[in-house]
A and B are shown apart, each in its own frame.
Chain A
Amino acid sequence: MSEERLLEKITEGDRKSFTTLYDQFQLQVFRTAFGYFHNNTDAEEIVQDVFLEVHRSASKFNNKSSLNTWLYRITVNKCLDKLRYKRSAKRFFFLSAIFFEDDVSLKETIPDNSDHGIDADNKESGLIINKAMNKLPESQRTAFVLTQIEDLSGKEASEIMRTTEKAVESLIQRAKANLRKELGKLYDNRRN
């Protein structure tokens, strides 16, 4: 079945087509999201958000880009939205912590960062990498995830990010340099 037809059927409400699409792309979406968050809980939430968005927007898909590129774009946008939300929430909780001793109702809106079924060493590495990657600007982080984790070519990444290949190359170089710098700082902090 062609991509267009598959999405048409999803728009018509065909659950079987939706499940087919899910089975085909869930791993790709999960991996990309994992590249952003380095924990399973957040990655699974992104999978959920992405496929709900796909269901809502299936009728809007045009054949200007491939289904793959379209799905990557939705995934990247959802990941960036979640990152922004987390940053804002962090600031908000910092302020609320000053005024209120323990605001449980607000804390419940932040997802648990713990990962079940992942060993302690990987969990610690994940937290360190996440900390270092949080310092990267969004565009550098996206270029890094798409090319280094998803193994996409510069051309594919540039189509998803709607920029040039050269710009993507430059973003990757800067992302790597910044990541090294941040990891160096984290290493020093651990030592002191």
Chain B
Amino acid sequence: MKNEKEVWIENMMAKASTRGSNRETKHEVLDKILKSLDQPEPGSSLITYNHFRLIGAAALLILALNLGIIGSAIIQKSDSMGARATYGLENFNLNLY
């Protein structure tokens, strides 16, 4: 004996497997296609899947560049600190006045 949940799932499975609609597409669909064929191909105004990928790649590139700049700044700073320490200049006061 199937419980309510199993019956519901079976019902949905049957609906998922049925041909949802046997109706003809609207006449407007063919009209739209024929109109599009008459027009020169315009650039799509929609944001396509490839645009998303492009935006993602650009964002990653910007992030990588930023990290690179920050990284090199940290290295440079630590190098100069190292050099000052080597020559015993870390406490050297250049203020002569």
State the A residues within 8 Å of B (CB).
15, 18-19, 22, 26-27, 30-31, 34-35, 38, 40, 43-44, 47-48, 51-52, 55, 81, 84-85, 88-89, 92, 106, 109, 125-126, 128-129, 132-133, 144, 148-150, 176, 179-180, 183-184, 187-188
- Given known A19-B30, A31-B21, contact A52–B16 (CB-CB < 8 A): no
Provide the B20-50 mask, 1 if CB < 8 A to any CB of A, else 0.
Answer: 1110111001101110110000000111110
Contacts A85-B48, A148-B16, A187-B9 supplied; 6 other A-B pairs, CB < 8 Å: A48-B36, A81-B49, A148-B17, A149-B19, A150-B19, A184-B9
Q: Decide: A84 and B12 in contact? CB cutoff 8 A.
A: no
A interface SS class: helix
Which one of B9, B19, B45 contacts A31 once the chains associate, using CB atoms below 8 Å? B19
Interface pairs A-B: 3 shortest CB-CB: A34-B20, A88-B52, A148-B17
Q: Are B49 and A132 closer than 8 Å at their CB atoms?
A: no
Interface pair B13/A176, CB less than 8 Å apart: yes
SS class of chain B's interface: helix, strand, loop or mixed? helix
Chain B residues with a Cβ under 8 A of chain A = 5, 8-9, 12-13, 15-22, 24-26, 29-30, 32-34, 36-37, 45-49, 52
